[in-house]
């Protein structure tokens, strides 16, 4: 080496002991710092230092087994490497540690250990120079033309060139290494290449201990020769594969191999081996639009230049595989036979006339115009009415593929639009993934629970759906993962929701909302015997000859137990166990039943070959006491009680409103978990009655004309655990307070709904059909509704309309006259006759 004095390392260096390898001068190494000594070195030296010298440390290989490492300082290796810490990264998982990126500078010898704690510090002697290395020509002149050092240097250089030449020069790292061989000084090559080739830590330690340059060349040259021989052996094993590729290429170009007959089977095998060529044919045969084809060909060109070991190779290959599998031009032919569609819909679903009519209208228009874009339908209704099953039936009717996407709880827009490919673990959104699953570009997509979408820091999926559900935009829907447009205009989107209140207005505006109301009791009985009972019998391995459920029993299940079909499942389960017991033991189902009330002994059971009939007694044994009891007349035995009608996402319900008064200071107390709108309606009702107290002869406890003077009013809505809100209870509150102040009972067969104003007008409300059905289930005979809701009575089944009287009221006078027997305040009042009483 040159005698010129270069940059000197500090004479005192903190020492970093490492088990992970041997750092050689000129190489870079990542070292994990976990031991207490090394952690103190990083914290007190590297993180607090401000000068360049503070980042220079000594790296000493620790030959002791790390499993048996103790707090005592091990015997230090005499020679180490001075390194420059160029990066320090800290982490607390799975335990506190640091990761250092260190570049080796030069060798040093430990002259004297100055201190051991908290981290070792030693006085060192620099062995290599950091600057003014001799060039290759200077080394040859210094060693002489026939000098041993010059000959070793030349042999080592030639071996290094041979090694690099055996690697793939298309890889940027290999090309850069080839340029470095001509620019680096010869004396640095042994350290640089020894750190790059496959060597053990023991062999690297021998290279580190070789202080003289001649000894270093002698130690490293055999390692380099061994690596070259290994690559030669690897190339020999790959040569047959290369020959096969050349034969395939010759056949594709029309050439004939001498002395060999070519068969079609061999051609198929060879083509399967060439994955890139097969993928290219798939890309060109996928019938993609021109923009998507250009992107795929560009990615395919990049893929051919990548080695398979690169991480990006797998990402690009997965992207191209997805692009090939997408149904760019694959579609199914719609079945446009309207009569067959009607028969299929009627066989799958009972009632639901509005939904069926809309589907048939779509088919009729498709017959006239085949390029009609798919409508965006939204079925809104309570759970269990068949919204999802209707979507599946529509797909069967059209002859299309069906795919369901559950959106409940989704709060990341990437679920709709996908992730960008720059992210680790990126994937397409649910729309594109669904198209890949069904394999056609015109399926029926069911977007289930669209009203339960969330919002988070990852975006708003409801906003992402705006592009999907807009017929004017979804012909060029762009998923972030694909980054090319895909045509969704032929997809028939059907959304389901329990309520439109939580759907953003912009999204709701893009959909055609179809209300799927609840069923009447007669419809429920018909649905149970047409669909539910046969399905449950099949699921439990029973036949109609083994178990029969009469319509009267089904009526009791609907009215006195659950409104859903879960109790039918329980009945089938119980009797399946009974049938199985009869087969094994010959025992009878009713052997343990108690004496029937009609005097017939339960032991006189039907023989095993007779069907089991579930009557009202067996029903009580299976399901227990009645869950629902009709108590309307029992609750309205005192003044200050009335029946209101409420709408919930589960359907309509009757709602009792109670009021009481006591001496006080004129305060109004509201209980029952009421929302702000209901509280305002209560104050409106109180204000209207106080302003009309003389007209209706309302008095307080002491006989005054102001009902609130010296009186406190308590208004309560039972079922206090359920939150209630909305304006439709206004007329009920007025009726309850009028009954309380007048001391008269409200009719027990009347239920009502409607919003009120301060002037006494009755405004329209929603959910009329569900509310009327709830009143019908409860045995109510008269329903008071706003006059502007009279048009909604057309949606109510005819059999229900025949059994109910409807009073359409435009003001509170008409409501009170219909709610009390003989009118209000009495028959002598000129406003005693109701405005209109309709029995439809």
Cα–Cα dist 834/704, whole Å: 29
For residue 207, give the nearest of 107, 75, 58 by alpha carbon: 107
Residues carrying an active site annotation:
728, 771
Tell me the CB-side half-sphere exposure of residue 532, using CA atoms within 13 A: 25
What secondary structure, in 3-state letters, does 600-625 show? Answer: CCCCCCCCCCCCEECCHHHHHHHHCC
Question: Known binder of ligand: residue 386?
Answer: yes
H or E, element range at 90? strand 79-91
Cα–Cα dist 682/670, whole Å: 8
**Beta 97-115 vs 56-61: how paired, if at all?**
unpaired
Query: How many other C-beta atoms are found inside a 10 Å radius of the C-beta of residue 243?
Result: 10
| 719 backbone dihedrals φ, ψ, rounded to 5° | 65, 55
Question: Known binder of ligand: residue 381?
Answer: yes
Question: Known binder of ligand: residue 307?
Answer: no
Question: Tokens at residue 342, please?
Answer: 């009607």
Q: Which DSSP string corresponds to 455-510?
A: -BTTB-HHHHHHHHT-TTTGGGEE-TTT-SEE--TT-EEEEEES-STTS-HHHHHT
Question: Known binder of ligand: residue 764?
Answer: no
Cα–Cα dist 612/576, whole Å: 11
Cα–Cα dist 579/648, whole Å: 41
Question: Known binder of ligand: residue 388?
Answer: yes
Cα–Cα dist 131/633, whole Å: 105
DSSP state of 711: E
* CB of 332 closer than 8 Å to CB of 442: yes
H or E, element range at 39? helix 36-41
| 139 backbone dihedrals φ, ψ, rounded to 5° | -65, -40
What's the start-to-end Cα distance of the chain, in Å? 113
Question: Known binder of ligand: residue 382?
Answer: yes
Query: How many other C-beta atoms are found inside a 10 Å radius of the C-beta of residue 104?
Result: 24
Cα–Cα dist 832/268, whole Å: 94
Q: Which DSSP string corresponds to 538-587?
A: HHTT--TTTEE--HHHHHHHHHHS-SSSHHHHHHHHHHHHHHHHHHHH--
For residue 378, give the nearest of 365, 389, 387 by alpha carbon: 387
Question: Known binder of ligand: residue 541?
Answer: no
Query: How many other C-beta atoms are found inside a 10 Å radius of the C-beta of residue 765?
Result: 23
Cis check: omega of the bond before 569, within 30 degrees of 0: no
Cα–Cα dist 280/388, whole Å: 41
Unique residue bearing structure tokens 């509005």 = 354
Question: Known binder of ligand: residue 222?
Answer: no
For residue 299, give the nearest of 313, 316, 279, 312 by alpha carbon: 316
CA dihedral (720, 726, 729, 730) positive or negative: positive
Cα–Cα dist 825/689, whole Å: 13
For residue 467, give the nearest of 457, 456, 478, 458 by alpha carbon: 478
* CB of 689 closer than 8 Å to CB of 698: yes
Where do runs of H (alpha helix) occur along 326-440?
338-348, 353-368, 387-398, 414-417, 430-438
DSSP state of 288: -
Binding residues: 381-388
Q: Which residues are annotated as a binding site for ATP?
A: 381-388
């Amino acid at each position: 080496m040159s005698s010129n004095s270069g940059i000197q390392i500090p004479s005192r260096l903190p020492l970093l002991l490492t088990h992970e390898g041997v750092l050689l001068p000129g190489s870079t190494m990542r070292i994990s710092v976990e031991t207490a000594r090394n952690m103190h070195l990083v914290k007190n030296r590297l993180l607090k230092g401000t000068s360049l010298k503070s980042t220079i440390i000594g790296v000493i290989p620790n030959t002791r087994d790390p499993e048996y490492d103790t707090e005592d300082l091990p015997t230090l290796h005499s020679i180490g490497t001075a390194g420059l810490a160029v990066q320090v990264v800290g982490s607390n998982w799975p335990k506190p540690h640091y990761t250092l990126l260190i570049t080796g500078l030069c060798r040093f010898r430990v002259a004297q250990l100055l201190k051991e704690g908290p981290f070792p510090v030693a006085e060192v002697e620099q062995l290599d120079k950091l600057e003014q290395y001799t060039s290759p020509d200077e080394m040859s002149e210094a060693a002489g033309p026939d000098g041993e050092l010059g000959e070793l240097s030349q042999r080592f250089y030639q071996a290094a060139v041979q090694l690099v030449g055996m690697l793939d020069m298309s890889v940027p790292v290999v090309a850069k290494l080839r340029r470095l061989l001509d620019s680096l000084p010869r004396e640095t090559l042994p350290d640089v290449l020894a750190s790059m080739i496959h060597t053990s830590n023991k062999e690297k330690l021998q290279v580190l201990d070789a202080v003289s340059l001649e000894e270093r060349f002698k130690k490293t040259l055999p390692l380099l020769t061994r690596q070259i021989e290994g690559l030669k052996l690897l190339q020999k094993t790959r040569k047959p594969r290369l020959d096969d590729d050349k034969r395939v290429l010759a056949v594709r170009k029309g050439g004939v191999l001498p002395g060999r007959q070519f068969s079609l089977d061999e051609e198929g095998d060879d083509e399967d081996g060439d994955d890139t060529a097969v993928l290219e044919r798939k890309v060109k045969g996928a019938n993609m639009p021109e923009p998507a084809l250009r992107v795929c060909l560009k990615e395919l060109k990049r893929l051919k230049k990548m080695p398979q070991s690169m991480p990006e190779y797998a990402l690009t290959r997965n992207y191209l595989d997805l692009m090939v599998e997408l149904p760019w031009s694959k579609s199914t032919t719609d079945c446009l036979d309207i009569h067959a569609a009607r028969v299929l819909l009627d066989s799958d679903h009972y009632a639901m006339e509005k939904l069926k009519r809309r589907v048939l209208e779509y088919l009729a228009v498709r017959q006239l115009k085949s390029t009609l874009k798919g409508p965006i339908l939204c079925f809104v209704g309570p759970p269990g009415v068949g919204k999802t099953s209707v979507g599946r039936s529509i797909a069967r009717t059209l002859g299309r593929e069906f795919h369901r996407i559950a959106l409940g709880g989704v709060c990341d827009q990437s679920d709709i639009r996908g992730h960008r490919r720059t992210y680790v673990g990126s994937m397409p959104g649910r729309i594109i993934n669904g198209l890949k699953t069904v394999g056609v570009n015109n399926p029926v997509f069911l977007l289930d629970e669209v009203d339960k979408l969330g919002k988070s820091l990852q975006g708003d999926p409801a906003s992402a759906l705006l592009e999907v559900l807009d017929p004017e935009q979804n012909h060029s829907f762009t998923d972030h993962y694909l980054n090319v447009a895909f045509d969704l205009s032929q997809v028939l989107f059907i959304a389901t929701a329990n309520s439109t209140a939580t759907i953003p207005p912009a999204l709701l505006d893009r959909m055609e909302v179809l209300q799927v109301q609840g069923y009447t009791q007669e419809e429920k009985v018909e649905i149970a015997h047409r669909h539910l009972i046969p399905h449950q019998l099949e699921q439990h391995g029973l036949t109609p000859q083994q178990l029969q459920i009469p319509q009267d029993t089904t009526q009791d299940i609907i009215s006195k137990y659950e409104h859903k079909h879960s109790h039918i499942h329980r009945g089938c389960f119980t009797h399946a166990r009974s049938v199985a017991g009869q087969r094994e033991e010959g025992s009878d189902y009713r052997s343990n039943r108690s004496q029937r009330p009609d005097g017939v002994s339960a032991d006189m059971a039907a023989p095993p070959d007779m069907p089991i009939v579930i009557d009202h007694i067996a029903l009580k044994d299976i399901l227990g006491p009645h869950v629902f009891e009709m108590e309307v007349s029992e609750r309205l035995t005192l003044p200050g009680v009335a029946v209101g009608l409420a709408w919930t996402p589960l359907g309509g319900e009757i709602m009792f409103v109670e009021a009481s008064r006591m001496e006080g200071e004129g305060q109004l107390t509201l209980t029952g978990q009421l929302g702000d709108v209901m509280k305002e309606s209560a104050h409106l009702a109180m204000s209207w009655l106080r302003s009309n107290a003389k007209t209706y002869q309302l008095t307080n406890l002491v006989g005054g004309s102001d009902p609130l003077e010296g009186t406190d009013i308590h208004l309560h809505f039972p079922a206090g655990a359920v939150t209630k809100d909305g304006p439709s209870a206004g007329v009920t509150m007025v009726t309850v307070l009028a009954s309380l102040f007048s001391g008269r009972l409200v009719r027990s067969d009347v239920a009502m709904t409607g919003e009120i104003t301060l002037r006494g007008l009755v405004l329209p409300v929603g959910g009329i059909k569900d509310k009327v059905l709830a009143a019908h289930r409860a045995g109510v005979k008269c329903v008071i509704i706003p006059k502007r809701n009279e048009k909604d009575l057309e949606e109510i089944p005819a059999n229900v309309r025949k059994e109910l009287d409807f009073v359409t009221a435009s003001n509170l006078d008409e409501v009170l006259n219909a709610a009390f027997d003989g009118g209000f305040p009495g028959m002598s009042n000129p406003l005693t006759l109701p405005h209109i009483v309709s029995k439809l």
